[in-house]
Amino acid sequence: MGITLASKRKEHFMKPFTAQITHVYHSGFIVETINHTLIFDYIEPDKSLDVTGFNRHDVFRKWISDRNNVFVFVSHHHQDHYMPSVLDWQAANPSLHLVAGYDVPVQPSKNCHLMNPCEKLKINEVSIETFGSTDDGVSFYVQADNMSFFHSGDLNWWHWNEFSPQQLEKEELDFKKEIQPLCAKSIDVAFVPVDPRLEEHYYLAGEHFVETCKPSLMVPMHFGTNFDVTKMFSSKLTNSSSSIAVLENCGQQLHYEKK
């Protein structure tokens, strides 16, 4: 497995067994493979970041308007994971498939799919399997072009300092229970929370996921504007068998090559 940084977006001419990963904001990513474009939990970047090129119109123009095999995934209805305006993309590109957790307020149709946890869906050459969450909605395991991607949504080890010991124990057990079935999966790229609001416990979900599920590449997410936490996390897991991405800005790209 190799990972390199790319400073500018390349045209969609991907080689087999490679993926171009663009971090949009928070838990939002665009994954480009040789035949598919996968968009996970897109929302527009926070205005305080003064980022250009990633509002919903820009994303549609650059990654959706002239492409086939575009899949938009929405893990759940929370506003930091779902913008209702993504529905406009499907109206403008009817071939686009929207795949959403059961709690997202959309109407199922031919190309709009609602999924509960522990369900499987095959759409053309893309295989989708849902897993649970420790909050709302689902998490996604997606296979496309002989590669596999896992996006956690709000599946996290929610260790809040104000919780009682009993609550903390339940959060830990719930997270580990949801993660366990993934240990048998081959995962090329995993997007897992490193939420800085959990203070010194921000790393728990990511560390456990890496130790048990062993993705080739783990990409931190769910950190809002606090990019420094990704560097902290990477430094903490220097001995990991997985590569750990460090994200420094919205729009940053990672090039993944499967070995």
- Tokens at residue 200, please? 């010194």
Number of domains making up the chain: 1
Identify the pLDDT of residue 155: 98
Domain range holding 250? 2-257
93: domain CATH number is 3.60.15.10
CB 41 within 8 A of CB 75: yes
- How far, in Å, CA of 5 to CA of 7, rounded? 7
pLDDT of residue 8: 36
| 251 torsion bin: left (phi>0), alpha (psi -120 to 50), beta (else) | left
pTM summary value: 0.93
CA pair distance 145, 36, nearest whole angstrom: 8
pLDDT-based confidence at residue 163 (cuts at 50, 70, 90): very high
C-alpha distances out from residue 10 to 2, 37, 72, 255, Å: 18, 13, 20, 11
> Residue type for 60, please?
F
pLDDT at 144: 98
pLDDT in tens, 206-237: 999 999 999 999 999 999 999 999 999 999 99
Per-residue pLDDT tens digits for 101-110 = 999 999 999 9
Q: Are strands 147-151 and 189-193 parallel, antiparallel or unpaired?
A: parallel
Confidence of residue 14 (pLDDT cuts 50, 70, 90): confident
